[in-house]
């Protein structure tokens, strides 16, 4: 199905819903979600539905066929589901920074070099799993040290270090669910530092690969590797886990999808 993107673009309006969150919204989006759920759970599934939330099929081609067979009056009908409350939308912090996060299982090739792990029985191994790291404006600005010369080191703020280590250095490549964030006591050590590699009046280049110009991030690149961080449920073995961070464009709807563990009450709270 996903190999025929042009068919989907030409015949459907794609909508992505976080069922766990949306089903409890007391507005039009929540009521639309509840109508979809009348046909059974919509978690991790695909539905072809009318604008009124009536499920037609789980297959795009069959759903389109059923849609076209409906009387024109029914296809034009649009129920009033009440107002849409945009205050319920989860949005990045004002002036904040969005960082793309990619994670995937790894293995070794015949020469012993790390390479992508794929298993035909596990569709999640076909491409990297994705998440977002959100930083408040005060947090990303703290990554730009005032002053400092080449070679100077600065500690990463407690809130940023804790958020990365507990909520983003985790195994998101799972078949049976992504598990939970790390507990504070599970993080045995955590020391992140910024090293000034270059400093001019207009530009600072820092290790933890941030490149800053006029107090705006132009790059944010981090790569993390855990030698046995991914549990492969197909083989019952632990494999290497690779996690990469990069600055998000932030101008597409997909860029603004909230972090997987945003609902954890400690996501924006640093260790006291």
Q: Which of 20, 54, 88 is the last residue of a domain?
A: 88
pLDDT digits (tens, 9 = 90+) for 201-240: 767 677 663 322 334 567 777 888 888 888 887 788 888 8
Do 10 and 75 have their domain in common? yes
Higher pLDDT pick, 118 / 26: 26
Greatest mean pLDDT range, 92-101, 191-200, 235-244: 92-101
Do 81 and 133 have their domain in common? no
Q: What is the mean pLDDT of residues 63-89?
A: 95
pLDDT score of 1 more than 90: no
Q: H/E/C letters for each residue in 82-134? A: CCCCHHHCCCCCCCCEEEEEEEEEEEECCCCCEEECCECCEHHHCCCEEEEEE
Range of the domain at 49: 5-88
pLDDT of 53: 92
- Identify which of 87, 264, 252 has the alpha carbon closest to the alpha carbon of residue 168: 264
Is residue 271 one of the residues assigned to a domain?
A: no
Q: What is the mean pLDDT of residues 120-131?
A: 76
Instruction: Provide the number of structural domains found in the chain.
Output: 2
Q: Which of 31, 56, 88 is the last residue of a domain?
A: 88
pLDDT digits (tens, 9 = 90+) for 158-173: 888 889 888 888 887 7
Proportion of the chain above pLDDT 70, given as a percent? 88
Higher pLDDT pick, 68 / 130: 68
Do 107 and 206 have their domain in common? yes
Do 164 and 222 have their domain in common? yes
Do 141 and 216 have their domain in common? yes
Q: What is the mean pLDDT of residues 149-163?
A: 84
245 touches 222 (CB < 8 A): yes
Greatest mean pLDDT range, 16-20, 145-149, 219-223: 16-20
- φ and ψ of 122, to 5 deg: -125, 105
Is residue 266 one of the residues assigned to a domain?
A: no
Owner of token pair 């068919």: 7
Is residue 269 one of the residues assigned to a domain?
A: no
pLDDT score of 96 more than 70: yes
pLDDT score of 187 more than 60: yes
CA 187 from chain center: how many Å? 22
Is residue 263 one of the residues assigned to a domain?
A: no
Higher pLDDT pick, 29 / 234: 29
Q: Which of 88, 122, 157 is the last residue of a domain?
A: 88
Do 113 and 43 have their domain in common? no
- Identify which of 85, 81, 130, 122 has the alpha carbon closest to the alpha carbon of residue 104: 130
Query: With bands split at pLDDT 50, 70 and 90, how would you rate the model's confidence at 7?
Result: very high
Do 120 and 83 have their domain in common? no
């Amino acid at each position: 199905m996903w190999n025929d993107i042009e068919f989907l673009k030409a015949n459907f309006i794609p909508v992505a819903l976080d069922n766990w969150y949306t089903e409890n919204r007391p507005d039009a989006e929540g009521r639309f979600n509840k109508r979809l759920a009348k046909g059974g759970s919509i978690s991790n599934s695909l539905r072809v539905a009318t604008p009124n939330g009536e499920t037609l099929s789980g297959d795009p081609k069959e759903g389109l066929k059923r849609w076209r067979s409906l009387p024109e009056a029914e296809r034009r009908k649009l129920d009033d589901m009440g107002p849409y409350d945009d205050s319920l939308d989860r949005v990045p912090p004002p002036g904040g920074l969005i960082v793309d996060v990619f994670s995937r299982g790894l293995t070794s090739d015949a020469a012993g070099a790390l390479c992508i792990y794929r298993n035909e029985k596990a569709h999640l191994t076909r491409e990297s799993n994705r998440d977002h790291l959100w930083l408040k404006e005060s947090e990303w600005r703290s990554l730009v040290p005032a002053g400092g010369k080449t070679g100077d080191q600065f500690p990463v703020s407690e809130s940023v270090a804790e958020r990365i280590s507990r909520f983003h250095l985790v195994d998101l490549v799972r078949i049976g669910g992504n598990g939970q964030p790390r507990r504070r006591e599970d993080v045995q050590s955590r020391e992140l530092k910024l090293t000034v590699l270059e400093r001019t009046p207009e530009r600072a280049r820092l290790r933890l690969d941030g490149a800053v110009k006029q107090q705006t991030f132009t790059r944010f690149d981090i790569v993390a590797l855990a030698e046995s961080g991914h549990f492969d449920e197909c083989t019952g073995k632990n494999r290497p886990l690779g996690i990469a961070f990069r600055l998000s464009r932030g101008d597409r709807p997909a860029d603004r999808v909230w972090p997987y563990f945003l609902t954890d009450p400690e996501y924006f709270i640093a260790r006291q």
